[in-house]
Structure 1
Amino acid sequence: MIHPVLLCGGSGTRLWPLSRKSYPKQFAPLIGPQSLFQASARRLSGPGFAAPVVVTGSDFRFIVTEQLLELGIDPGLILIEPEGRNTAPAVLAAALCLAKIDPQALMLVAPSDHVVPDPAAFRAAVETGRAAAEAGRIVTFGIRPTHAETGYGWLELDAAAPVAADGPQPLRRFVEKPDAPRAAAMLASGCHLWNAGIFLFSVQTILEAFGRHAADLLPPARAAVEAARVDLGFLRLAPAAWAQIPAVSVDVAVMEQADNLSVVPYGAGWSDLGGWDAVWREMGPDTAGVAVSGKATALDCQDSLLRSEAEGVALVGIGLRNIIAVAMPDAVLVVDKSRAQDVKLAVAALKAQGAKQAETFPRDHRPWGWFETLVLGERFQVKRIVVHPGAALSLQSHVHRAEHWIVVAGTAKVTVDDKVQLVTENQSVYVPLGAVHRMENPGRVPMVLIEVQTGIYLGEDDIIRYADVYARETVPAT
């Protein structure tokens, strides 16, 4: 049985404005109706695969479970990192946890934000590497290159190893992201592959490798796992111990030093969607090189990508050449396709300006559903709130604002101080400033309401929680 380990803690700034710190690219439907995370989980499920181990941050824990359950996949073990420490600590923590369950287990470590168009071919490649992993090898998967890519790390095969082979081949070394001339030379050499960052090994093999090459990571990682606490269906790694672990990639900590490495060449299609130019390629441009998504229209355009990610925004391009245009409700990106890798500079510039669009997604996902701001004024705010069937917001009050709720779909069970009532479509309820209140969805369909807030301060931190089914921090009720 292979245990998939899905890493999903990255921020994906090169795909701004769709990918942001509060809702990174792995959870977005960039290619097709499913998110990249969902596609990764489905690709590594079924016969021969155990329930996935997911390593993520606290802000994404409920998104992970919600998206897995949408696919009918058992969430399995979900490890919560107190803070991002790069991939080596994440892999090590997963290995230490699996060692308690099955010390002989095979781990397949994969980022959750990659596109693999042929899942069956990828599973077949994994199977070709199984015997080597069971024999104590660290198996990685190298992508047969199609062009001189400078945005990826590369893998150099042994001179006698054929790139066209299907089975595990000897790996000479890892190569950092090259400049253009070096990338062209490696492409021409015929003995280099792209580094996909996907690994297959046994728990015992990787723990021995950490002990040999990155022993300083083991004591704090063990302490973080041993002192971890169960929180609902999640396992929270101990923050104090976790903070002592060096932030380092698994490539640097282990792989670049290990002498038991093999690589399985893979050529059935792959992309890490490291920029909007990669998204353009994966979307399958038409004969004019144009790809569109959502309410986007291209007139006399060439080699361009137009995406509207906002329900009420029509994006129209006329006479565009080599342009990427992405429209969101709160931000629009327009960039020359050749500068796609520089989108992260826009994020840095917006952060320097203090603009919330730099990191905050317009739709705020919560364990009970999501909300988005429709209108924000000096002393009022209008939101759309969607509550999942059976879900409930916390029992709470506000110091600085009152609220008016209008149900537009479904039925809400509303508590305001000592009064509990059902509020159906086209009905409303007023929540005075300071009132202790709660909203629940007792039905079987999503409940949608419009919330109008009024007050001198409308920030999300103006919440006093008295009880919460999702174990978020509360204060004693008075």
Structure 2
Amino acid sequence: MLTAIIMAGGSGERFWPLSTPEKPKQLLKIFSDKTMIRETVDRILPIIPADKIFIATNELQQMAIKKELKDIPEENIIIEPDFKDTAAAIGYSSLIIENRLKKLLKNDEKLEVVVLASDHLIKDENLFRKVINKGAEEARKNSVIVTLGIKPDKPETGYGYIEVKNDEKIDLNEVYKVKRFREKPNLETAENYVASGKYLWNSGMFIFTIETIFKNFDVLMEEHTEIFNSIREKLLQNKTGLELTNLVRSDFKQFEKISIDFGLMEFSKNIRVIPVDIGWNDIGSFNALDEVFPKNIAGNIIRNTTVLELDAVNNIVVGDGSKISLLGVKDLVVVKNGNNILIADKSRTQDIKKIIQK
């Protein structure tokens, strides 16, 4: 039985001032008349029904997400009591799926889970769904954790990398063993990775069975397992929503704040990767718009605004209907949303969250 966890608890700080804690990137309409989380749900509905899709979010955003995703059962909106990063979030959501759906399994059927971000762009949706189904079959048959690795088209320093354990040519959409995960590299290292043909971008998308993920937690993250066992007992009360959040709050606060990559994926011996080219972009900063939207003759990207420009090149301008004038500037990101205005050099967009945290 294929299910999904859509991770929707981020604040999207690098997309300020468009994104705010109350209305983060996943609730913005960036590429169409749909929000990014709506696009994510619609992308998987052909292979996973709405009652098998779970949304992992927080108390601040849960009402907006319920309003946006009215077809998702309210009890499938998982409200995390605290931000403890993805190891706790994915484990906790998997516990809820196990408690809710295990009794519906037939014969030797297993619960497969695909973990997706709520704010990624994927252009080839048909191929994406085919790969998800292939990954789920691999996870079920061989008790492994499967991740999707993006075929790199440039030496990107903003992504983690996956080294594939294979001496031959790596073919797209096939399953390979993972040799190791690599941290975000410097430019020279990234160039070597891409040139070797043995490295893929880490997309942060995972597929596993409930049984496999908890076996990995048992071996590699014992302290998380102890907390999971306490929460598992409380789930027998069949609470949902904020009632459940309050019930497990004291347990949740005990989790170490650590990502599933650092806590589990980097050390597990049963990880597989499927290299894909699905038109993926994690839209990690405003610079990603350079790769998505067409540019005018001066190389400027202009969204939701009117721009007067003179000797202005290679800028990204996003407005809220106001008129913006550019004179003699280049390589800037200019964003206006209400009373908030951002003007940043393109090379510094990864640092936007630093300025709003002051």
TM-score by length of 2: 0.90
Deviation at 1:42, TM superposition (A): 1.2
Q: 1:332 is paired with a residue of what secondary structure?
A: strand
Alpha-carbon distance between aligned partners in 1 of 2:72 and 2:308, rounded to the nearest angstrom: 38
Q: 2:201 is paired with a residue of what secondary structure?
A: strand
Query: 2:96 — aligned with what?
Result: 97
Deviation at 1:341, TM superposition (A): 1.4
Alpha-carbon distance between aligned partners in 2 of 1:321 and 1:255, rounded to the nearest angstrom: 41
Alpha-carbon distance between aligned partners in 1 of 2:148 and 2:79, rounded to the nearest angstrom: 26
Q: 2:3 is paired with a residue of what secondary structure?
A: strand
Using a 3 Å threshold, how does the CA distance of structure 1 residues 332 and 205 change in structure 2: closer, same or farther? same
Let me know the Cα RMSD of the aligned residues. Answer: 2.0
Query: 2:213 — aligned with what?
Result: 206
Instruction: Kindly indicate which of the two structures has a greater share of residues assigned to strand.
Output: 1
**Match status 1:265 vs 2:275:** yes
Alpha-carbon distance between aligned partners in 2 of 1:91 and 1:173, rounded to the nearest angstrom: 21
Alpha-carbon distance between aligned partners in 2 of 1:208 and 1:161, rounded to the nearest angstrom: 31
Alpha-carbon distance between aligned partners in 1 of 2:169 and 2:218, rounded to the nearest angstrom: 32
Larger gyration radius, structure 1 or structure 2: 1
2:89 partner amino acid: A
Pairs within 5 Å for 1:231-250: 235-236=244-245, 238-250=248-260
Alpha-carbon distance between aligned partners in 1 of 2:241 and 2:251, rounded to the nearest angstrom: 21
What are the Cα deviations for residues 122-147 of structure 1, in whole angstroms up to 9, with x where unaligned? 11111222221112111000111111
Range that drifts further, 318-327 or 174-183? 318-327
Deviation at 1:76, TM superposition (A): 5.4
Query: 1:306 — aligned with what?
Result: 317
Query: 2:172 — aligned with what?
Result: 165
Pairs within 5 Å for 1:48-447: 48-49=48-49, 51-69=52-70, 72-75=71-74, 77-103=76-102, 104-135=110-141, 136-160=143-167, 162-227=169-234, 230=239, 235-236=244-245, 238-300=248-310, 301-309=312-320, 311=321, 313-348=322-357, 351=358
Whether the 8 Å contact between 2:14 and 2:351 is mirrored in structure 1 is yes
Whether the 8 Å contact between 1:52 and 1:75 is mirrored in structure 2 is no
**Match status 1:44 vs 2:44:** yes
Deviation at 1:334, TM superposition (A): 0.9
Whether the 8 Å contact between 1:221 and 1:245 is mirrored in structure 2 is no
Structure having greater relative contact order (Cα 8 Å, sep ≥ 6): 2
Deviation at 1:347, TM superposition (A): 1.4
Whether the 8 Å contact between 1:298 and 1:306 is mirrored in structure 2 is no
Alpha-carbon distance between aligned partners in 2 of 1:32 and 1:234, rounded to the nearest angstrom: 35
Deviation at 1:159, TM superposition (A): 3.3
1:65 partner amino acid: K
2:309 partner amino acid: L
> Identity rate of aligned residues, in percent?
27
Alpha-carbon distance between aligned partners in 2 of 1:235 and 1:119, rounded to the nearest angstrom: 34
What are the Cα deviations for residues 139-180 of structure 1, in whole angstroms up to 9, with x where unaligned? 000111111111111111013254333121111110011111
Q: 1:227 is paired with a residue of what secondary structure?
A: helix
Alpha-carbon distance between aligned partners in 2 of 1:117 and 1:53, rounded to the nearest angstrom: 23
1:94 partner amino acid: S
Q: 2:180 is paired with a residue of what secondary structure?
A: strand
Q: 1:343 is paired with a residue of what secondary structure?
A: helix
What 5-or-longer segments of structure 2 have no aligned partner?
103-109
Deviation at 1:302, TM superposition (A): 2.1
Q: 1:238 is paired with a residue of what secondary structure?
A: helix
Deviation at 1:112, TM superposition (A): 0.9
Using a 3 Å threshold, how does the CA distance of structure 1 residues 140 and 47 change in structure 2: closer, same or farther? closer
Alpha-carbon distance between aligned partners in 1 of 2:81 and 2:90, rounded to the nearest angstrom: 15
Alpha-carbon distance between aligned partners in 2 of 1:123 and 1:333, rounded to the nearest angstrom: 37
Alpha-carbon distance between aligned partners in 2 of 1:287 and 1:224, rounded to the nearest angstrom: 57
Using a 3 Å threshold, how does the CA distance of structure 1 residues 146 and 21 change in structure 2: closer, same or farther? same
Whether the 8 Å contact between 2:47 and 2:129 is mirrored in structure 1 is no
Whether the 8 Å contact between 1:77 and 1:234 is mirrored in structure 2 is no
Deviation at 1:235, TM superposition (A): 4.0
TM-score by length of 1: 0.68
What are the Cα deviations for residues 203-235 of structure 1, in whole angstroms up to 9, with x where unaligned? 111111111111110222332354367356874
1:214 partner amino acid: M
2:182 partner amino acid: V
Range that drifts further, 300-309 or 159-168? 159-168
What 5-or-longer segments of structure 1 have no aligned partner?
352-478
What are the Cα deviations for residues 419-475 of structure 1, in whole angstroms up to 9, with x where unaligned? xxxxxxxxxxxxxxxxxxxxxxxxxxxxxxxxxxxxxxxxxxxxxxxxxxxxxxxxx
Alpha-carbon distance between aligned partners in 1 of 2:220 and 2:114, rounded to the nearest angstrom: 20
What are the Cα deviations for residues 20-46 of structure 1, in whole angstroms up to 9, with x where unaligned? 223221111122222211111111212
Whether the 8 Å contact between 1:293 and 1:308 is mirrored in structure 2 is yes
Q: How many residue pairs are counted as aligned between the two chains?
A: 345
Alpha-carbon distance between aligned partners in 2 of 1:141 and 1:85, rounded to the nearest angstrom: 24
